[in-house]
Amino acid sequence: MSRIRVRLHVVGAALVTLTLAGSPLAAADPAPAPPPTVEEQRLDRAVPQEILRRSGFDAVAPRFADALAGAGSYRQAERAVVRQGSQLWDRAVDRAQGRGPARGDLSRDDDRPLYWARLGMTRELRQWQPEFGLSDAQRARLLDRLERSSRGQDSMNLPAGKGIKRIVMTGFDPFTLDRDIRISNPSGATALALDGTWIRTADGPARIETAVFPVRWQDFADGTVERTLRPQLPKADLFTTVSQGRVGRIDIERTNGAWRGGFGDNENVSRTETVPVDDPASQPQWTTTTLPYKAIVAGPTGRFPVYDNTTVTEIPSGGTDPVVRPEGPTPGSTARSGGGGNYLSNEIAYRATLLRDRLGLKIPGGHVHTPVLEFGAGNTTEITDPEFVRNRLDIIAQVRSIIRVAAESSD
């Protein structure tokens, strides 16, 4: 639909021109641009700029700004946003998987260029003031389309056909950036390295499709996990959510709890409450992995030890104080921490396995906690070093091996 221009001649005032975009979200009165978010404000610090420069991703946001400037309507802006977001995801995946030029001296397995380049794009979009005007609802819609397309959430493509296993895997953005802004998240790096790849199993080929999620409480409350996974899990033979966990070990988390423990997210927002889900009246306090944890723990998957983690923290039935239970929850208890804690690692595992159960699916699925990705000894300032790269590559390889073992053990 073409734009409609209405010229109003007002006596004693300047000419006013209103442009209505061809969109169901169009509004006559454009809203002022919101300020940058806490995440976006970190972007101008030295480390993010070095990461972008040394990966060749420093031109992503300026090119996106040019694309927005060329949009003459909301519809054109939406197309530009989805196209540019998808291109960013594809470029990050290609870089991680060795396709095309590296464009910088950072190792290809690095997930941080995607994170910081996306924030550059969201900041440009948040501050953009087009001539045709944007309502708050329109801007929010564009930001949502950018987030989903640049995270692989709307491009998962599980193949059809017999004799193929279909696997869904998810990772996370870097987090705790105010503690160390150099941080990388090996789960996000693994998602980039494995997206669209095939693995050989004893039972034949398996295809892996991945997506990355933000470390923000509100996005989870808004249903980003369910919206992404609901179309995929009925087609999948296996799923695993993955996040960074403890130092020097991998954990297969047996039980997930319906509790948010209050740790600050990437917006420095804290939430202490029951995990908010649709139909809370039927919400369980606990969900359980259906990954073949015994086979995974027993398998020679890599250099990091792998544990079947059964510990939870609960308020026992009839009690008032939290109690740590090494062997899992007791009947009627209230969750205070799953095996994976009470942060967003636990929550994505809880949401994914609850979705599995509510859809009536019998597929294996659960959560894998990777080791903390550590820099080399004595490195407190450099954005990378050989030990850092080795650790990340080893984690990626071991998660891939764990997925292979899970796929072979799930018949």
pLDDT digits (tens, 9 = 90+) for 114-163: 999 999 999 999 999 999 999 999 999 999 999 999 999 999 999 999 99
For β-strands 255-257 and 286-288, DSSP reports them as: antiparallel
Which helix H or strand E contains 344, and what residues bound it? helix 344-358
Decide: 260 and 272 in contact? Cβ < 8 Å.
yes
Residue 292 C-beta-side C-alpha neighbours within 13 Å: 17
Q: Which two tokens stand for residue 171?
A: 């990772």
Whole-number Å distance between alpha carbons of 206 and 167: 7
pLDDT tens-place values along the chain, 411 residues long: 333 333 333 333 333 333 333 444 444 467 888 999 999 999 999 999 999 999 999 999 999 999 999 999 999 999 999 999 999 999 999 999 999 998 999 999 999 999 999 999 999 999 999 999 999 999 999 999 999 999 999 999 999 999 999 999 999 999 999 999 999 999 999 999 999 999 999 989 999 999 999 999 999 999 999 999 999 999 999 999 999 999 999 999 999 999 999 999 999 999 999 999 999 999 999 999 999 999 999 999 999 999 999 999 999 999 999 999 999 999 999 999 999 999 999 999 999 999 999 999 999 999 999 999 999 999 999 999 999 999 999 999 999 999 999 999 976
* Chain mean pLDDT for the chain: 93
| CA–CA dist 30, 131 (Å, integer) | 9
* Tens of pLDDT, residues 8-44: 333 333 333 333 334 444 444 678 889 999 999 999 9
Q: What is the pTM of this model?
A: 0.92
